[in-house]
Amino acid sequence: MAKLGLLPADGPAIETAVDTDSLIRSILFIAVFLSVWISFHPFPDLSEPPLQITEAGDLGKEIGFLVLFLLLALWSLFHEPTRLQLLVRPAMIVTLVWCGVTVLASWQPSLAASRFAFTLGNMGMATMVLLLPKNVRHFSDLMTVAVLIVLAVCYIGVFLAPSFAIHQLTDFAEPEHAGDWRGVFTNKNEAGATMVQFIFIGLFVARMRSLALGGAIITLATTFLIFTQSKTAIGILPVVLIISAVLARTRRPVMGIAIAISVVVMINLFSVGSVYFEPIHDMIASILPDPSFTGRTEIWQFALQHLAERPITGYGISAFWGTEQVVYGLSGDNWANIAVNAHNGYLDIALIIGIPGLALVIAWIVVLTLADYYRVPYAPHLQPLKAFFLQVCLYGIYASCFETAIFPYVGGERFLLMIAVFGLRYLSVSRAAI
């Protein structure tokens, strides 16, 4: 079996060639994560109206990611590219083939095809970036550097350029978020989700490398998270910490997977289910001051209505929300027409690749990934990494009940989720090398 990067270090580097190799690995790794987290357009001006609806993507972003993809591909070509075969599994192939079918059936095939290609490129980056760290400690060190850079940039923005790092009353959309921190991100919810992942990284670093560095990351990320006022991120964080601890102590894989999935079912039942089940709605109304989940129920009703019109193939990847047909052409007398997503990842997946596609994604990213977690053989040096990957996966699975946090959209939290999915797969199939 090919030797993987996420293994214990054999010894210190003593040759210049090795040092050069480590430097290249480190720079490329950090560049990828900074491009994903900080993006190529940090601190966007939200006072400006959004660009007109168009099938053209962000050219600068596409070129930037293309360059990084090519650099990763070139590096992987000379560093045992056969290792990538370990990440290929039938469920993933079938899911991607189905996505291709839905592209052909989309009401905007060209748009769906371009977004699907972009998704494939980012998935490829998520697989190749796993090969860059030389061992688990190197992975921990690189994540520490990348996270601290992002946190520093976010805090600098808050204190030196608050109009670009904090939501303002002058924001063109959602001025009600005024005062909530967003840092380099476009929205407080994206910032909140990323800060939760930074907390997981801090826990990993504290266990793997340095209690002081890990504690600093946790403190900075938690403080920023609180000021984002992102209800989903703040609410899901303790759920993930509790469930991950339970799964770590559950010896039977079937029981652990059932526990994790039951939480998804319950959250969706008491959120999206409140749209159709009156008793659930009444119970939610008696508990929460806003039973509409800040207007999400209108979007869920709108999404379910149009899912019923194309339940098999959906509308195509990124070919529903924000398109002219939805904003101007579909019926609806509320703000759901101009929503950017369904505020529920599972509804979004069903809308773009149909109910069969949703079933495939759940099987691949949820069920099989949790099974991979239990298949990872015990090794003391891998336990912090294994726990980190699990926490990232659980957050993506649970946060998707209120946001779009899983496949196939591209973003910081979704990119790290794909890395965690592939990472657990890596660890589970490479036991001979461990």
**Residue 178 forms part of a structural domain:** no
**Residue 118 forms part of a structural domain:** yes
pLDDT at residue 10, rounded to an integer = 45
**Residue 245 forms part of a structural domain:** yes
Using alpha carbons, list the distances in angstroms from residue 428 to 76, 252, 376, 379, 422.
21, 16, 4, 12, 10
Contacts of 239 (CB under 8 A, 6+ apart): 263, 398
What SS3 string covers 210-252? CHHHHHHHHHHHHHHHHHHCCHHHHHHHHHHHHHHHHHHHCCC
Q: Backbone phi, then psi, for 181, in 5-degree steps?
A: -75, 145
What does the pLDDT profile of the chain (434 residues) look like in tens digits?
334 556 554 444 444 445 888 999 999 999 999 999 998 888 988 877 665 444 445 677 778 889 999 999 999 999 888 888 888 899 999 999 999 999 999 988 988 898 899 889 989 999 999 999 999 999 999 999 999 999 999 999 999 999 999 999 988 777 888 999 999 999 999 999 999 999 999 999 999 999 999 999 999 999 999 999 999 999 999 999 999 999 999 999 999 999 999 999 999 998 888 888 888 877 888 787 776 777 788 888 888 988 999 999 999 888 788 777 776 655 555 556 667 788 899 999 999 999 999 999 999 999 999 999 999 988 888 999 999 999 999 999 999 998 876 776 666 778 999 999 999 999 998 754 44
Q: What is the pLDDT of residues 136-194, one digit of tens each?
A: 999 999 999 999 999 999 999 999 999 999 999 988 777 888 999 999 999 999 999 99
Q: Render 42-94 in DSSP notation, one character per residue.
A: -S--TTSPPPPP-S---HHHHHHHHHHHHHHHHHHHTS-GGGGGGG--HHHHH
Nearest partner of 87 among 38, 26, 49, 129, judged by Cα = 129
Nearest partner of 384 among 174, 111, 202, judged by Cα = 202
Cis before 289? omega within 30: no
**Residue 273 forms part of a structural domain:** yes
Neighbours of 49 (CB within 10 A): 8
pLDDT at residue 239, rounded to an integer = 97
Cα–Cα dist 192/233, whole Å: 6
pLDDT at residue 211, rounded to an integer = 96
Give the chain's domain count: 1
**Residue 105 forms part of a structural domain:** yes
**Residue 320 forms part of a structural domain:** yes
Using alpha carbons, list the distances in angstroms from residue 355 to 215, 325, 410.
42, 21, 21
Cα–Cα dist 351/317, whole Å: 9
Nearest partner of 346 among 392, 305, 293, 304, judged by Cα = 304
**Domain boundaries, position 36:** 16-135+231-429
**Residue 50 forms part of a structural domain:** yes
What is the pTM assigned to this prediction?
A: 0.91
**Residue 154 forms part of a structural domain:** no
Neighbours of 169 (CB within 10 A): 10
Q: Is the dihedral of CA 313, 124, 154, 165 positive or negative?
A: negative
